[in-house]
Structure 1
Amino acid sequence: MNNAYSSPIPVRKTHLGNALASEWTKIKSVRSTVWTLGIFLALVIGIGLLAAANTTSSDYNDVPFTIPAFFGLMLGQICLITLGVLVTSSEYGTGMIRTTFTASPQRHRVLLAKILVFFAVAFVVSAGSILLVGLATSAMNSGPEAGDVPWAGTVLKGGLYVSLLGVLALAVGSMLRHSAGAITAMLGVVLVPAILPAFLLIWESTRTLAEKMSDYNAINSLAMIFGADGVDSAGGTSQLVVLIVVTALAVGGAFALLEKRDV
């Protein structure tokens, strides 16, 4: 006689789509998402439109119409960094990560779903806000004195850059499992390379390092992407590649530690 138990509840094998649906439900239902993205939009669009309203058509002879969005992104990137950290670290702080891993024992699938959902949300919001500022600036300053500098690339690369910063923060949050510590670490990643070169330039032996840090820090990288201070608006590609490599390494470290630690 076969006494094997058969559950009356239909059981089906879970897949990445289930994890994506779960993470989408989480990210859209928590207050931190609303606040951080709301402040991000207010900074990028608000400061961008304010800057655009105080410019003339002649100001866009050699810079793209999206340049006003750059000023808001310098501050707005902190919002995406904060949200990226909270996507992972908040569950560790509340202990809900135990429930998540119980429902989905394949931890790598959970982390991958978090990364994909966060990146999609961050890119749509950031690229959309840059595009909106560009369109508004073009409408306000599209006179004959304005140049014809292509700006579609700044929408793509600008949105990609700040979104990758957020993914990097997500990976750091997963490794550190502590919101305040991860946010502090990411603020150091953004701010220290922007400040430290001023001191390193004092000594000749550290001048090369200072110049590299100056070229590749987050603020100057965005400046190159948007063509600020007369920089070629098609620039910033090497800075974007470096960020992709650093983010990939951090994500790899997060996946490796995820399987070795207890919850």
Structure 2
Amino acid sequence: MTTHQPPAPQAAQPTWQAAAGASYPGYTSPIPVVRTHLGHALASEWTKIRSVRSTMWTLGVFVLLVVGIGLAAGALVAANASEGDLNGENPLSFGFFGLLLGSMCIITLGVLTTASEYGTGMIRTTMVACPSRGRVLAAKAVVFFAVAFVVTLVSSSFVAFAQVGMLSDARDPSGGEWFKATVGVSLYIALLGLLSLVVGSIIRHSAGAITIMIGLLLAPLVIALFMFSESLQDLREALFEYSIPSQLSVFYATSLTDSGPSGWDPLWIILGVTAAAFAGAFALLQKRDV
């Protein structure tokens, strides 16, 4: 007669615990655990911005435009000016033309600093490494602003010294004019690039953000040129006065208009606009998916 054997009892399943739990009281991770801070994010963003080719290309073209056009303008004026033509003229003002064109390079680099990561998907890796999104945006802003300011300051200062040497018949600039044409204009260009970085974070598309910023740079002045109606006279003057080229010219004491921003007003305007855009970008960054 066949008898059925009862099934063998199953071994109890082990209860797994984390390595740092009670089962492993003496465990020490071979990987050092460090509390991250803004300095780590700054180091990461500095590594990114100096290791990508777009930084070298855009900054290289920027320096070429600022220095090349600035020196060419000074040499052209010096070669064609008769004795006495430059009396009372500020020799620093001829640096305006190269810096206006070069600002498009800073705008492009600012957009690429943020928007390119969304295009390649690298932003996911960045947010995994640093889950604090506000810290990431702040680190990008600090690193980019420092790079843009230093490069602009060196380029504009070189052009300023060269133009004063070439235009010996012009008057000697005052200390305030030197400061505005070097440090002041460098702060303005760096803030303009920072605004581009913030717009790139909001739009998340390189071509779209660059188009918006180039339009912001050139469109008001171009639109104002075609406003011939008397009813649009006030709007036309406002577009002229508050266009970026007109505000940039204020730093060289050669304002394109007789009214509008003067002194340090353009710097406070761009600072306010950039701060408002930065706040909006920060709020959107917290709400959106990566």
Q: Which residue of 1 aligns with 2:127?
A: 101
Aligned to 1:147: 171
CA contact (8 A) 1:63 1:230 kept: no
SS at match of 1:228: coil
CA distances 1:194-221 after superposition (whole Å, capped 9, x unpaired): 1111233x23332212211101111111
Q: Which residue of 2 aligns with 1:126?
A: 152
- Does the CA contact (< 8 Å) of 1:63 and 1:227 recur in 2? no
Distance in 1 separating the partners of 2:283 and 2:121: 21
What does residue 23 of structure 2 align with?
Answer: 3
- Name the SS for the 1:147 alignment partner: coil
Task: Name the residue aligned to 1:164.
Answer: 191
Q: Which of structures 1 and 2 has the larger relative contact order (alpha carbons within 8 angstroms, sep 6+)?
A: 1
Structure 2: tracts of 5 or more residues without a match? 1-20
2:141 aligned to which of 115, 119, 122: 115
Aligned residues: 259
Paired residues of 1:222 and 1:236 also in contact (CA < 8 A)? no
Going from structure 1 to structure 2, the CA distance change for 1:115 and 1:62 (only over 3 Å counts) comes to: farther
1:87 matched to 2:113: yes
Question: What CA RMSD, in Å, does the superposition of the two structures yield over aligned residues?
Answer: 2.0
* Matched letter for residue 180 of structure 2: G
Q: Report if the CA contact (8 A) 2:91-2:171 is conserved.
A: no
- The aligned runs of 1:62-77 (5 Å cut-off) are 62-77=88-103
Q: 2:207 is matched with which residue?
A: 180
CA distance in 1, matches of 2:206, 2:85: 42
1:58-107 C-alpha deviation (Å, 9 max, x unpaired): 56543433222211011100000000000000100000000000000001
Query: CA–CA distance in 2 between the matches of 1:164 and 1:24?
Result: 18
Shift of 1:236: 4.6
1-side partners of 2:171 and 2:222: how far apart? 33
8 Å CA contact 1:36, 1:83 repeated in 2: yes
- Partner AA of 1:246 in structure 2: V
Q: Which has the larger radius of gyration?
A: 2
Residues 1:50 and 2:72 are matched in the alignment: yes
Once the two structures are TM-superposed, the CA of residue 238 in structure 1 deviates from its matched residue by 1.6
2:217 to 171, 190, 193: 190
Are 2:229 and 1:203 aligned?
Answer: yes
Aligned pair in 2 of structure 1 residues 246, 158: CA closer, same or farther (>3 Å)? Answer: same
Distance in structure 2 (CA, Å) of the matches to 1:230 and 1:115: 31
